[in-house]
């Protein structure tokens, strides 16, 4: 069947349209499936978009659960629909969650929902990525301020939307600056280029208003001809590396190789990794880094093999109100994400529990934390849009946050 635009129907309040994704567009592979090649000219859908009337007000998401098999739009018309999209990871990754949280409050204001209730629901939809609560609360504060200043409903909604748009733009700018700082650091640590970088989870344009965090650094290196290889951890259980990072690397024409998470050790042992670049969902005041589960073992491996472990995140991911790693709430997710394999874009009509293919005996309980916490002593540097903190200390991070606040206020 030829691939083209498709229309899907989602739970109430949302609609979905889609087309086959072009993950093979610039993969550099000698062979690419002919059926996918047929749609290579389609532009990609932005990770998030606000549509005004007459289509809106709606928030349009690129449904990341269907990648790389299909690029499809998920249209959120109300805050509960967006909360569900966040919980199911249709929209995901710390910076993008912040943007989504802010637009979600704007959607509530524009459509006459209770704004405080919506902000609470959005801020609590996932607990670890601090950006989500940051975006929702910042938008909520704008609404309160507008109402206190005598704005009517329409004016208050417009102020919230302006804040969401500002956050979106700020994140794009932060992404570009992180790429500059991150590449400068890579070049300093490994003069001569030819960087072989290992990354985990997904940190590119799919999680950002711009080109991402850690991935944006690798992309900048690639554009300067200084990336020899991007090693992409598949990132069990939901395969953000295999499904999303490989998709973004292929589209960007980067030299990349996918590996299972448990192959990382032998890759380090073979001397094939020059640096680890990852993002973060929350950085505590002491520099402890919460990121996708599997990041901490990489940090331990990196230390043993004398390889720099670099965290790239916007200042909004640094949370001065969380004192240390032990205080970070780590999201625990459902067992079925581990006990079943879900193939993107294959609907398992009539299947039970999570709808995937069982790979463990029925009733198996799984330990499924979405994130783990890396202590600051294992982190070589934290790269932000305001600069690099290394060594990673409470004082260094506090100074960075103070500098960022000065920039924001002035
Ligand atoms: O559960 P996810 O897919 O939202 O987890 C995302 C990650 O762990 C990313 O690495 C993190 O948000 C940093 S993105 C810049």
Each residue's pLDDT tens digit, 324-356? 999 999 999 999 999 999 866 555 555 567 778
Cα(369)–Cα(382) distance, rounded to whole angstroms? Answer: 23
Measured by CA distance, the residue closest to atom 5 of ligand 1 is 93
pLDDT for the residue numbered 5: 34
Locate the domains of the chain by residue range. 5-14+26-169, 175-409
158: phi > 0 → left, psi -120 to 50 → alpha, else beta; which?
A: alpha
pLDDT for the residue numbered 323: 98
Which active-site residues does the annotation give? 281
Contact 72, 54 (CB under 8 A): no
Average pLDDT over residues 356-379: 96
pLDDT for the residue numbered 161: 98
Average pLDDT over residues 120-142: 98
Cα(25)–Cα(23) distance, rounded to whole angstroms? Answer: 6
pLDDT for the residue numbered 369: 98
Q: Which of 94, 309, 315 to mutate to test the pocket of ligand 1 (most atoms within 8 A of CB)?
A: 94
Of the pLDDT bands very low, low, confident and very high (cuts 50, 70, 90), residue 16 is: low
- Residue stretches of the annotated binding site for substrate: 92-94, 126, 240, 291-292
Of the pLDDT bands very low, low, confident and very high (cuts 50, 70, 90), residue 17 is: low
**pLDDT of residue 133 exceeding 90:** yes
Q: Which residues make Cβ contacts (< 8 Å) with residue 390, sequence separation at least 6? A: 185, 380, 381, 382, 396
Q: Is 187 exposed, middle or buried (0-12, 13-18, 19+ CB in 10 A)?
A: middle
> What are the beta bridge partners of residue 388?
383
Least confident window among 35-44, 256-265, 306-315: 35-44
Give 229-257 pLDDT, tens digit per residue: 999 999 999 999 999 999 999 999 999 99
**Same CATH fold assignment for domains 5-14+26-169 and 175-409:** no
Ligand 1 lined by 291 (C-beta under 6 Å) = yes
Give how far the C-alpha of residue 321 lies from the chain's centroid of Cα atoms, to the nearest Å.
22
Q: How far is the CA of 101 from the centre of ligand 1 (A)?
A: 15
Of the pLDDT bands very low, low, confident and very high (cuts 50, 70, 90), residue 37 is: very low
Of the pLDDT bands very low, low, confident and very high (cuts 50, 70, 90), residue 24 is: very low
Angle between helix 153-189 and helix 130-148 axes, rounded to 10 deg: 150
Instruction: Name the fold adopted by 5-14+26-169.
Output: 1.20.120
pLDDT for the residue numbered 355: 78
pLDDT for the residue numbered 181: 98
Least confident window among 182-191, 282-291, 343-352: 343-352
**pLDDT of residue 15 exceeding 60:** no
Based on its alpha-carbon atoms, the radius of gyration of the chain, rounded to whole angstroms, reads 21
Cα(134)–Cα(118) distance, rounded to whole angstroms? Answer: 14
> What are the beta bridge partners of residue 256?
230
Contact 327, 357 (CB under 8 A): no
Of the pLDDT bands very low, low, confident and very high (cuts 50, 70, 90), residue 35 is: very low
Q: How far is the CA of 222 from the centre of ligand 1 (A)?
A: 22
Q: What percent of the chain has pLDDT over 90?
A: 82
For the question of whether the overall pTM of this predicted structure is more than 0.95, the answer is no
**pLDDT of residue 410 exceeding 70:** no
Q: Ligand 1, residue 370: give the atom nearest the CA.
A: 1
Measured by CA distance, the residue closest to atom 10 of ligand 1 is 279
**pLDDT of residue 222 exceeding 50:** yes
- Residue stretches of the annotated binding site: 92-94, 126, 240, 291-292
Contact 132, 125 (CB under 8 A): yes
| Alpha-carbon dihedral sign for residues 180, 255, 187, 260 | positive
Cα(330)–Cα(137) distance, rounded to whole angstroms? Answer: 20
**pLDDT of residue 409 exceeding 60:** no
CATH homologous superfamily for the domain 175-409: Translation initiation factor eif-2b; domain 2 (3.40.50.10470)
Of the pLDDT bands very low, low, confident and very high (cuts 50, 70, 90), residue 404 is: confident
pLDDT for the residue numbered 10: 36
Q: How far is CA 320 from CA 284, 325, 397, in A?
A: 6, 12, 9
């Amino acid at each position: 069947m030829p691939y083209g635009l498709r229309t899907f129907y989602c739970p109430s309040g949302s609609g979905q349209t889609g087309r086959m994704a072009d993950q093979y567009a610039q993969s550099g592979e000698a062979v690419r499936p002919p059926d996918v090649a047929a749609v290579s000219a389609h532009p990609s859908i932005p990770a998030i978009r606000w549509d005004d009337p007459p289509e809106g007000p709606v928030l349009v998401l690129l449904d990341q659960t269907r990648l790389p098999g299909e690029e499809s739009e998920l249209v959120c018309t109300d805050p509960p629909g967006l909360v569900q999209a966040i919980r199911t990871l249709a929209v995901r990754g710390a910076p993008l969650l912040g943007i989504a949280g802010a637009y979600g409050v704007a959607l509530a204001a524009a459509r006459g929902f209770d704004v405080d209730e919506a902000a609470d629901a959005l801020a609590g939809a996932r607990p670890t990525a601090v950006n989500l609560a940051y975006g929702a609360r910042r938008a909520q504060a704008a609404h309160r301020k507008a109402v206190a200043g005598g704005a009517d409903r329409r004016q208050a909604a417009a102020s919230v939307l302006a804040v969401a748009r500002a956050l979106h733009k700020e994140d794009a700018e932060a992404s570009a600056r992180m790429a500059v700082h991150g590449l400068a650091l890579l070049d300093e640590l490994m003069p001569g280029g030819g960087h072989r970088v290992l990354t985990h989870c997904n940190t590119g344009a799919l999680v950002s208003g711009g080109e991402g965090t850690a991935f944006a650094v690798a992309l900048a290196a690639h554009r300067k001809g200084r990336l020899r290889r991007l090693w992409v951890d598949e990132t069990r259980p939901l395969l953000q590396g295999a499904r999303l990072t490989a998709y973004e690397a292929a589209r960007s024409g980067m030299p990349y190789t996918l590996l299972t998470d448990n192959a990382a050790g032998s890759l380090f042992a073979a001397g094939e990794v020059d640096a680890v670049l990852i993002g973060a969902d929350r950085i505590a005041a002491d520099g402890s880094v919460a990121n996708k589960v599997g990041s901490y073992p990489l940090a331990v491996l990196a230390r043993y093999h004398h390889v720099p472990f670099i965290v790239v995140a916007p200042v909004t991911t640094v949370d001065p109100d969380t004192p240390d790693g032990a205080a970070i709430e780590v999201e625990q997710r459902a067992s079925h994400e581990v006990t079943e394999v879900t193939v993107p874009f294959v609907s398992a009509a009539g299947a039970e529990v999570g709808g995937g293919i069982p790979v463990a005996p029925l009733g198996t309980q799984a330990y499924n934390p979405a994130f783990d916490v890396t202590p600051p002593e294992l982190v070589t540097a934290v790269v932000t849009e305001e600069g690099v903190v290394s060594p990673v200390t409470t004082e260094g991070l506090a100074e960075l946050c103070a500098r960022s606040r000065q920039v924001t206020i002035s």
